[in-house]
Homo-oligomer: A and B are copies of this chain.
Amino acid sequence: MLNFNFYSPTEFVFGKERENEVGALIKKYGGSKALIHYGGGSVVRSGLLDRVKASLEKEGVPYVELGGVMPNPRDSKVYEGINLVKENGIDFILSVGGGSCIDSSKAIAAGSVYDGDFWDYYSGKAGPIEKALPVGTILTIAAAGSEGSGDSVITKEDGMLKRGASGSGIRPKFSVMNPELLFTLPSYQTACGATDIMAHVFERYFTNTKEVEITDRLCEAVLMTMIKETPRVIADPKNYEACANIMWAGTVAHTNIVGVGRDQDWNSHGIEHELSALYDCAHGAGLAVIMPAWMEFVYKHDVMRFAQVAERVWGCKMNYGNPEATALEGIKRFRMFLKSIGMPINFEELGAKVEDIQTMVDKMGINGETGGFVHLKPEDVKTIYEIAAKATI
């Protein structure tokens, strides 16, 4: 096991109607004037935004609103938020939405107290982010895990560059998680979120660190939960228990408690980011196309690890005479599962184009090779895109 620090100080406030406590939570964590940041009309239409405002008003917390966060959140909205914060003397950022909204909120929180362009953190010119206004979240989709992480991903519109930043300063102080808020999600979004959660686990699972049984088992626990509960939510979006399981699994998957002490991969995320940046597709849908292709490209690097997940998670019988067959069977079952919950599994289904592959490889800007489970050269990434392009079951 590698040396590590694990620090997850976010207070998770989980369950029915907990969003009504948000005013008190903001005050508890030192906020006196809030920016309420949200995305599209669903939080308005559902009445959630009204309940949030009522809670702030009840506690005497004034607020300014900024809606319009888009999936794959943009730098322009972040600049808008930073200006609002500075003009209005805001000292707390409240995100009401999913991962995109949280990531945009984190960028605003960091940029508002940074003496320079917030993009410095995302371009790698500055970081990690240690100083930021406090952020709280009300989560409306189980997916990104951003509600419990110190990470944020923003897309710069000039060139559609999708880049990430990290730091303890942008970990949410609290995250309100009411599974009932998932009831109105379209199945496609639920499935995209579930795919993202599973991908967060797989990025940690495929490691070159040996003998990390505890984190292996914890990863498998989250994956098995997702395999059981996702189809239940798709079949019955108002199944509270199934929604609750997915929602907590999504957080556990990304606080890093299942990934400490081991090197991790994250190449599938990097490869996918070019897809969602170019086509503005959902991140989870892009991962459904990329991750099984990545697995097919790298599995020979550690056949027994792929056989292990095939047996423990996907319920394959170990083929002791041919472990490679078991490894491949596990990857096949992953892709079949993704298909079964309505995810695309190749370029055509995603709306991506083979002729863009070289552009995406170039945009990744790989300097020599990537890190991770298997180090990838640009030509390897190209092959992975090509496998993904024509995948079938």
Chain A residues engaging chain B, CB cutoff 8 angstroms: 1-16, 18, 179, 210-215, 217-218, 220-222, 224-225, 228-229, 240-242, 244-245, 248-249, 252, 257, 260-261
Contact = CB atoms under 8 A, between A and B. Distances in A.
Nearest to A242: B211
A14 B9 contact: no
Nearest to A6: B12
Nearest to A250: B214
Contacts of A13: 5
Contacts of A257: 252, 257
Contact of A245 (B3, B16, B18, B212): B212
Contacts of A11: 5-7
Which 4 pairs across A and B sit closest by C-beta, in order of nearness? A3-B15, A217-B221, A9-B9, A211-B241
Oligomer: number of copies = 2
Contacts of A9: 7-9
19 contacts: A1-B241, A3-B15, A3-B18, A4-B15, A6-B14, A7-B12, A211-B241, A211-B242, A211-B245, A213-B224, A213-B228, A213-B229, A214-B225, A215-B248, A218-B218, A218-B221, A218-B252, A221-B221, A248-B260
A179 B38 CA distance: 45
A245 B1 contact: yes
Nearest to A220: B221
A43 to B, nearest CB: 21
Contacts of A245: 1, 211-214
A214 B12 CA distance: 16
Given A229-B213, A241-B1, A245-B1, A260 B224 contact: no
A355 to B, nearest CB: 42
A241 B215 CA distance: 12
Q: Which of A12, A217, A244, A245 has the most CB of B within 10 A?
A: A217
A85 B103 CA distance: 44
Contacts of A261: 14-15, 244, 248
Given A221-B221, A241-B1, A257-B257, A248 B214 contact: yes
Given A220-B221, A221-B220, A225-B214, A14 B8 contact: no
Contacts of A228: 213
A18 B228 CA distance: 39
A222 to B, nearest CB: 7
Nearest to A241: B211
A221 B216 CA distance: 8
A248 B1 contact: yes
A252 B228 CA distance: 23
Given A1-B244, A249-B214, A14 B225 contact: no
Contacts of A8: 8-9
Nearest to A253: B214
Contacts of A240: 1
A65 B220 CA distance: 44
B260 A14 contact: yes
A16 B261 CA distance: 12
A279 to B, nearest CB: 32
A1 B3 CA distance: 34
A3 B241 CA distance: 11
A18 B18 CA distance: 39
A28 to B, nearest CB: 11
A14 B15 CA distance: 32
A365 to B, nearest CB: 33
Contact of A15 (B2, B210, B213, B220): B2
Nearest to A249: B214
A222 B58 CA distance: 43
Contacts of A7: 9-12
